[in-house]
Amino acid sequence: MPLIIRKSVESAEDLWVCGNMKTFLIFIVIFGELLGWSNAQTAVDNFSRQFLGTPLFAESNIANAEVSPQQDSKVEPLQTFSLGQIFKDPQKSPNSQNPQISAISAILLDINSGKILFEQNADEVRPIASIVKIITALVVLDNVKKDQTLVISGIGLSVAEAGSNIWFETGEELKVLDVVKAMLIASGNDAAYELANFYGGGDVARFVEMMNQKVADLGFKSMRFSDPAGIESGDIASARDLANLGRILLRKPELADFVSKPQSEIVSVDGQNRHELKTTNELLKDSSMHIFGIKTGTTDEAGQCLLAAAERDGHKLISVVLNSPDRFSETRTIINWGFDNFIWP
């Protein structure tokens, strides 16, 4: 997780005050991370924005700071401080052999330090199917108002009849975040289109533009989208970018909670309609794996895809497999390999 620290100050006194304040806030976040406070960064950002005039953390520069060796010109005035400098990198055990998997692209990284533990064609840009819904959720989260609701228009089922759907009834009113929950847990294509239609002002294409702008702002060079559900051929990304996207999602408490649930239920505002949600991520049902997310994806073109997160003994890993013959088995393989073959200081 990079901290983006502004360099500009008005005076030597400002430098001393801001420097000490920033150091104090940085350690709050570090201890928050160690104690599992998922909203520590958000709280510190809000405080920093109010009293220092700028957030300490610049989410818009995460991808550039962690992935791209060349910083974009618009982030040159920023100094990047990575938690990898404080969280010691896990070290590979001597004589350890890389796992053998058949996925076209794959990656495994340590969440805290950002260290890559394993990669296989990680920069190859490939179709990612329903993993696209993570970006749909992030755009909605940027725009949703407290307790906001939407009325189902019916566009979801008219466009996305195939694949996974929630089967909302036209005219029912639901909380926006419940629709997001349905999209992330049960991978509802109709949920994705209803959200896009609502926040696109009745224009799904406009919402897709918002999605592409979002990933551009985040600095993800490989990502391009043509629809909000991942059912079209123009939805692409690299495994490396998806792993870092997963890190971003897990810092959003609402979304992190949704993707960790094997099942849930949502109810319309009037209480007349109930929708049971069952995860498409089978690993969430395997207690031995300690999986806490994140998103599946499958189309004929993309093959079986999975972005996953797991924890063991306080250490957290993110994995990605794209176009795998068995995404759940191969994810088990690389995650277990990572925990078994690396030592954390």
List, by residue number, the catalytic residues.
130, 133, 187
What lies within 8 Å, CB to CB, of 47 at 6+ separation is 25
Residue at token pair 């089978």: 282
Joined together, the tokens standing for residue 212 give 């592409």
- Measured CA to CA, the distance from residue 84 to residue 292 in angstroms comes to 22
Question: And the tokens for 62?
Answer: 């995460």
Helices first, then strands: H and E counts in the chain:
11, 15
Q: For residues 160 and 139, give the distance between their C-alpha atoms in angstroms, rounded to a whole number.
A: 20
Q: What b/e string do you get for 208-228 counting C-beta neighbours within 10 Å, with b at 16 or more?
A: bebbeebbeebbbbbbbbbbb
Residue 60: is it exposed, middle or buried by C-beta count within 10 angstroms (0-12/13-18/19+)? middle
Q: What is the 3-state secondary structure (H, E, C) of 108-156?
A: EEECCCCCEEEEECCCCCEECHHHHHHHHHHHHHHHCCCCCEEECCCHH
Tokens 């289109």, located at residue: 193
Tell which residue, 242, 261, 159, has the closest CA to residue 200. Answer: 159
What span, in angstroms and rounded, lies between the C-alpha atoms of 70 and 77?
A: 14
CA distance 276 to 142: 26
Burial class for 273, CB neighbours closer than 10 Å (0-12, 13-18, 19+): middle
The three-state secondary structure class of 224 is strand
